[in-house]
Amino acid sequence: MKNLYASLKAIVCLAALTALGCTQPAENSWLQLDRAEATLPSTGETSLTINVDASSSNWTVTPEASWVTVSEQTANTVVLTAGENDNIERSTQVVFSLGDTKTALTIHQLERAGLPSHFRKFDEYHDAVISPSGTYITAMRGGSQNGTYVYDVYLVEVATDARTYVGTYAYELSAPFCVTDDGSMMFYANAWVNTAVMEPDGTDLILSYPELGLGTPRISCVSTDGRIWGGYFDGSADGAVPYRFVDGVPTDRLEVPDTNFRGAPRKKGDTAGFQLRGGSADGSMFYGTSWDNFDYGMCYWDKQGKFHWVGGDRHKTSTHETVDKYGNPKTVYCVDWGVQCQAELYKMSPNGKYIGCMIYQETFDEAQGAALGSTTGCAVYDTETDELIMMPSGATVMSITNSGLAVIADSAPIGSTTIYDLNTGAVLGDSADWVLENFGIDISNTGCFVTGIFGENDDVVFGNYLPDADMMVYNFWYAAKNK
């Protein structure tokens, strides 16, 4: 499907200044502000006057960050002042209280002019993905509008941070899954059942290919020119069926083996098949996971469309004869050595040479009559040389660049990442330290960590942070070198 995108329209401001927020636990107590959000310049000593409507003048105001101070307060106003910001954009809250009634003002302060890179956190969006070359990010958020829950979609130009409001959609958008380098966006929709394709002008289409009889298509990745998609069909007796699409047409059903990750005959139905997860920038190679009993066995398809288990001939399985609890004979299949991954999107380098993975091994436990398994490290597999490059530590490899920079998740769940150089075998440090050294901005106090490095010259980073550690729901951020 060719993109109809011609030009960005309707650039949306970074900070909204109109929403109001308050809590009123007491019937006769109220506390309201004239805004919920404000943006200040980086220069400092800029005053911001907030009008307060309260049931009593005994309200208090408490900034949560030291760089915001209260310079003046009356019965119904407060003047806030921000100190000079010599780093990236930052945000904080100022809490207003009247007894048990509380409300908060969010203050953003812009980054210092002249920084070598710009940085943005997507506090306002629920989910986001980045295009293969780091040109665009598509993001979404949901909310109630006139009693109906709707979804707003935005397109962000990384180089300029120009944000285009694409449209509001009444059907359910589960998550964005890919965006092309010219702005076409793809979302899983209707409770992860369908794929919706959207253009920057707001036009949208729910993909459907009923003539194949394979269920609903789910697009997982796109080539840089947007012509080639990788994905899979789901909902037929064959389970998940991996496919290659060209110009919106499903052209190639990708080959799969007759046996699953453990060497057992493949199952049928919903918990079966192979889910294509991502691919190379030119659309010539893909990787995915087997789905029999949710075993996450990692595979890839080479440039000739041939199926391989990641790790090559290292992948070994074994069978063990035992009895079930009723004394009936049964065969247990084990993965003596294999590779797994989950639904990560960027585990193959743009040129298809490298694949990030985690090692998984099982042993047969005679007492339980079952296979017991665990992950035993993470690695990068070289599809050209069949070399397996073990990482010194970490839970899994999130992504790899053509230049050989691997982003390693330090633990699961992910709270930080480390950058590793495949060429020198050197650990380059925590990803925040790496961003400081290579992008010239300090993100160490933001909670942000890198999950992917993009651009021809590794000049864009994309990642996550946890706005609330108790919720374990990630938000997104990016940084890009100024040109």
Torsion of CA 229, 234, 238, 244, to 10 degrees: 0
Burial 196-207 (b: 16+ CB within 10 A, else e): bbbbbeeebeeb
Q: Is the pLDDT of residue 475 over 80?
A: yes
Provide the pLDDT for residue 469.
67
Query: Of how many residues is the chain composed?
Result: 483
Provide the pLDDT for residue 302.
97
For 263-309, the three-class secondary structure string (H helix, E strand, C coil) is CCECCCCCCCEEEEEEECCCCCCEEEEECHHHCCEEEEECCCCCEEE
Q: Is the pLDDT of residue 26 over 70?
A: no
Provide the pLDDT for residue 269.
73
**How do residues 29-81 score in pLDDT, each as one tens digit?**
899 999 988 888 888 777 899 999 999 999 999 999 999 999 999 999 999 99
**How do residues 316-350 score in pLDDT, each as one tens digit?**
999 999 999 899 999 999 999 999 988 888 999 99
**How do residues 111-155 score in pLDDT, each as one tens digit?**
888 889 999 998 888 899 999 999 999 999 998 888 889 999 999
> Which residue, 153, 217, 209, 145, is CA-closest to 185?
153
Residue type, 138: T
Q: Is the pLDDT of residue 278 over 70?
A: yes
Tokens standing for 260? 């699953």
> What is the pLDDT of the chain when averaged over all its residues?
89
Domains and CATH numbers, the chain: 31-109 (2.60.40.10), 391-483 (no CATH)
Q: Is the pLDDT of residue 27 over 80?
A: no
Phi, psi for residue 191 in degrees, rounded to 5: 60, 45
**How do residues 406-437 score in pLDDT, each as one tens digit?**
999 999 889 899 999 999 999 999 999 999 99
Q: Is the pLDDT of residue 20 over 50?
A: no
